[in-house]
Amino acid sequence: MSRSIILKIKNNAINKITAAFASACEDCGEEEKAAEASFLKLKEYTAEEIAEHNKEESPWLLIHGKVYDVKEFLENHPGGPEILVDKSGKDASEEYDDIGHTDDATAEMEKFIIGRVQGVRYESLKKSSGGGGEDCGEDNFEKVFKNLYFQAGGEWLAENAASDDEL
């Protein structure tokens, strides 16, 4: 394969990736605004109100500024109900992060949100690992790149495209 063809393939791939990333960042910005609006609509609870819900009859968890009523999830929690009850009425953010929950588990949690902690700002959630909207940075770029890479027959490109040193 000639170097000019390889160069065209590489340039075409770079252009597609750049365009897709720019589009994803625009989408990310809109999603971020919607996530913030949704967060601000949540009912606010004080730390004292949350602390009252520390029993199996009414277990609330505080994770990254959001309040979750996990009563309906107790029996389905893979780690058992005891873990949730033990952390109920308290901030369980660190424990939640330490376990390394999957994206599916995080998405599943959404249906148990009942509010937010009084005074917590949306911007502060983005600093915590389980918090607010998705950052439009390297993680988003990686998702876009992987999607395009495999759509474009990435295995072939990886095997056949010359490195920059070879051009």
Q: Which domains does the chain have, with CATH numbers?
A: 3-160 (3.10.120.10)
pLDDT in tens, 108-133: 999 999 999 998 888 777 555 444 44
Question: How confident is residue 164, by pLDDT bands cut at 50, 70 and 90?
Answer: very low
Q: What pLDDT does 101 receive?
A: 85
The more confidently predicted of residues 149 and 4 is: 4
pLDDT in tens, 36-84: 888 889 999 999 999 999 999 999 999 999 999 999 999 999 889 999 9
Burial pattern 15-53, b for ≥16 Cβ within 10 A else e, equals: ebbeebbeebeeebeeebeebbeebeebeebeeeebeeb
Q: What pLDDT does 59 receive?
A: 97
C-alpha distances out from residue 103 to 20, 41, 53, 55, Å: 23, 23, 26, 27
The 3-class secondary structure across the chain, one letter per residue, is: CCHHHHHHHHHHHHHHHHHHHHHHHHHHHHHHHHHHHHHHHCCEECHHHHHCCEECCEEEEEECCEEEECHHHHHHCCCCHHHHHHHCCCECHHHHHHHCCCHHHHHHHHHHEEEEECCCCHHHHHHCCCCCCCCCCHHHHHHHHHHHHHHCCHHHHHHHCCCHHHC
pTM score over 0.85: no
Place of tokens 């873990």: 83
The more confidently predicted of residues 152 and 11 is: 11
How far is it, in rounded angstroms, from Cα 67 to Cα 91? Answer: 9
As a whole number, the mean pLDDT across the chain is: 76
